[in-house]
Amino acid sequence: MPSTSTSRASGLPHDRFLNRELSWLDFNARVLELAEDDELPLLERVKFLSIFASNLDEFYMVRIAGLKRRHSTGLTVRSVDGLTIREQLELITKRTQDLVHRHADVFLKDVAPRLEDAGIRIVHWEDLADEDTRRLREYFRDQVFPVLTPLAVDPAHPFPYISGLSLNLAVMVRDPDTNVAHFARVKVPNNVPRFVAVGPTDRTATFLPLEDLIAAHLPQLFPGLDVVSHHLFRVTRNADVEVEEDRDEDLLQALERELARRRFGSAVRLEVTESMDPQILEVLLSEMEMQPEDVLHVPGLLDLAALMALYDLDRPELKDDPFVPATHPRLSEGETPKSVFATLREGDVLVHHPYYSFATSVQRFIEQAAADPHVLAIKQTLYRTSGDSPIVNALIDAAEAGKQVVVLVEIKARFDEEANITWARSLEKAGCHVVYGLVGLKTHCKTALVVRREHGVLRRYCHIGTGNYNPKTARIYEDLGILTADPRVGADLTDLFNTLTGYSRQTNYRMLMVAPHGIRTGLIEKIRREARNATEGRSSGIRMKLNSLVDERIIDALYEASAAGVPVELLIRGICALRPGVPGLSESIRVRSIVGRFLEHSRVVSFDNDGDPEWWLGSADLMHRNLDRRVEVLLRVCDETARRELARLFDQAMAPDVRSWQLGGDGDWTRSGERDYQAERLAEVGEHAG
C-alpha cells in the first residue's frame, strides 16, 4: 500500500501512480490467466496463449524500444512512480521472464497434453515413423530447401542482418579436414507454414515445427561439413516509426522512407531456447550489440504466437459456440433491411459490436450512402481497415458515381502504415479527395458524415464510434457507435472535417469534445463539477470504461473527486496508473478489468450531473498520446433510449458477481466472479433479435 507522504505541489501522495509498463504486463498476465483457465474450451486457451505472445512482441517493439532509446541518450527522467529508466527496465525484465516461463509451462505441461488427448499433436523429428519421415523429406526437398539460404560468418562473410521477429537457427559446423569450426545462420522462412502437417488434418492432426524439419536436414545445407550443433533464436527490433513531419515535404514519401528504416531498427530483445550454447549466445550478443539483460530464455518452442494456426483447425467442439451478429432491430423489418436514413430520421441508433452486426449497421450506412442518388457527399476518417475493405470499396463506388468523397486516411497508424498507404492511393485513383490529417497529430477519431438532399433541403447523417471501420475486427472487438441525424452533430462533424482538411482552427463544438484541445480540459471540468455536487450534498457519480487510464491530471482530478465523496467506477481493460481504495486518497474509487472472448475496446464516460446524467462515447483513451498528440472525438449522447442502454450495459459489467479482475491499492489484480458478462450479452441480443 502506498505511503501517505504528500507532494507539496499537489497535496497528494508522491507514490499515487502505478507504473504504466508494469501495469501493461499485468494486463497481459490477465490474458495468460485465461490460457490457464481449464474451464475454457481447449482451442480458446490456445488462442489466448497466442495472443499473449503477440502482445508481448508488440510491447517490446514499441514500449521497451522507446525506453531503451531514451536510456541510450543518457536521459535521467523518472517515470511518474519515481523509477529511473534503468530501474524500470530491470523490473520489466524480471517480470517478463517470470511470465514467459509461466506461459511456456501452461503450454508444455497443461495445454499440449490436453491437445494430444484431443488428437492434436506437435511432435519432434525423432518421434516420427519411418513412413512420415520419408514423406516429409520429399516435402522438405520440394517446398522448403529451395527457399533456404545458409549464411556463413567468417572474414569474407560478415554477420548477416537478422530481421525482427524471424526465427533463426544458429549452426556450428566443422571442417573435417582442418577441424576448424564455423558459425552460420539459417533463417526459418516465414512464408512456409510454421507447423508442418504430418498426414491429414481432420479429426486428428499431427504437426512438426518447421525448425525441426530444417534442423533434421542441415547436412544438406552444409555438404562436406560436420554439423556440430544448432540452436534456435529470435530477435525483436525497434519497430516504432518516428516521422519527422516537415510542412514542405510530402508526408507519404517521408513515411515510406521511415518504413524502410524500420526493418533495421535496433535489437531490443533476444529470445533463445534454454539449451542455447553460451558461446553461441555470446556471439549473438556481440554481433547484434546487445546486453545479457536483453536475453529471454524460453522453455520449449519459441514464438507461441504461431499457435493461432492450431486455433484455425476445424474442431468446433474445442471452441466457443459460434455466433452470428444480430441486425439491430431498428435497422430491419424481419429479414428486409430498412433504409438507414429513414430510421435515423426517427431517432438515433446505438450499435454495440460484435453483438449487433457491423455489416448491417455501419457498413450498410456507408454502402447505402454510396448507392443513393440523393447523397451528395461522404466524409470519413480511416485509421485501420481490413485487407478487402467493403467500406473502402463503397467510398470508391461513391466517388466513381460522381459524389464528393473526402477520406482522411491516417497513414501513421502503427503497423498498418503500408496498408493505409495502399488504400490512400486506391482512393485517390478513384477520384476521392484524400488527406492525411494535421502535421504533428495522428487522426484517431472514428467519424463519418453523409450529406443528403431531401425535398430541396440538405440533411446530414453521422456515425461516431469507438472502433475502427474494420468489419473483421468488428467481430472480435467490443465497440460502441452512434448513428444519428441530429443536426447539431452534423454541424459539429462538418466543422471538424473542415479543420482536418483545411486551415480552420476551431476548438469549440456543440456536441463534441475534441482532442488535442478539448477532451482533457472538458473531462476535468466535469469531474470537478461532480466533486462540487458531492460537497454541496447533491447527487454525484463518475463512470468510465476505457482501454487505458494513464493521464496524471485526470487521475489527480479523480482523486480529488474521491476526497469529496464522489463514487467513481472505472472499467479499465488494460493499463491503469490509478491506485483505487487507498484511505485518504481514493476510498470511493473502484477499478475492475474484464478480459474475455471479445476485446473490450469501447470508451465511454458518464457523469451523474445531479441526477441528469451525461454520457459521452468516442475514440479516446485517457493517455498523453490520445489527449495531446491525436485528433480524438467524444460525442455527447443525448438520445434517451441510447443513454438508458449505456447505463444498463455499465450496470451489467460492474455487477458484483461478473467474472473480472479487481485492482487493489497496492497494484495487485485479483480475479473474482463467475458470471460471463459477454456470454450473457450474446444470449440477450440473440434472444432480442430472434
For 25-60, the pLDDT digits (tens) are 999 999 999 999 999 999 999 999 999 999 999 999
pTM above 0.85, yes or no: yes
Angle at 660 between CA 655 and CA 666, to 5 degrees: 110
- Mean pLDDT, range 220-240, rounded to an integer: 93
Q: Please report the pLDDT score of residue 3 as a whole number.
A: 42
Residue 444: active-site member: yes
Q: Could you tell me where the beta strands, DSSP code E, fall in 542-624?
A: 542-546, 568-572, 589-593, 599-600, 603-607, 614-618
Name the DSSP class of 6.
B
Inter-residue contact 214 to 169 (CB < 8 Å): yes
The Cα-based distances of 450 to 464, 474, 491, 493, 522 in angstroms read 12, 21, 11, 10, 27
638-659 confidence digits (pLDDT tens): 999 999 999 999 999 999 999 9
- State the pLDDT confidence band at 560, using cuts at 50, 70 and 90: very high
Q: Provide the 10 A C-beta neighbour count for residue 86.
A: 12
- 384 pLDDT exceeds 90? no
- 530 pLDDT exceeds 70? yes
Choose the weakest-confidence range: 252-256, 308-312, 677-681, 685-689.
252-256
Pick the catalytic residue from 217, 328, 353, 444. 444
402-445 confidence digits (pLDDT tens): 999 999 988 776 666 777 788 888 899 999 999 887 778 889 99
Burial class (CB in 10 A: 0-12, 13-18, 19+), 610: middle
- 75 pLDDT exceeds 80? no
Q: Could you give the CA distance from residue 413 to residue 565 in angstroms, rounded to a whole number?
A: 40
- State the pLDDT confidence band at 242, using cuts at 50, 70 and 90: low
- State the pLDDT confidence band at 248, using cuts at 50, 70 and 90: very low
pLDDT above 90 covers a percentage of the chain that reads 79
Q: Please report the pLDDT score of residue 263 as a whole number.
A: 63
C-alpha dihedral sign at 572, 574, 578, 580: positive
- 89 pLDDT exceeds 50? yes
Q: Could you give the CA distance from residue 601 to residue 139 in angstroms, rounded to a whole number?
A: 43
335-383 confidence digits (pLDDT tens): 789 999 999 999 999 999 999 999 999 999 999 999 999 999 999 999 8
- φ/ψ of 421, rounded to 5, equals -60, -40
- 246 pLDDT exceeds 60? no
Q: Could you give the CA distance from residue 68 to residue 48 in angstroms, rounded to a whole number?
A: 28
- Mean pLDDT, range 620-624, rounded to an integer: 96
Q: Which three cell numbers stand for residue 602?
A: 469501447
- State the pLDDT confidence band at 690, using cuts at 50, 70 and 90: low
- 70 pLDDT exceeds 50? yes
Q: Which residues pair with 6 in a beta bridge?
A: 13
Inter-residue contact 124 to 108 (CB < 8 Å): no
- State the pLDDT confidence band at 688, using cuts at 50, 70 and 90: low
- 533 pLDDT exceeds 90? yes
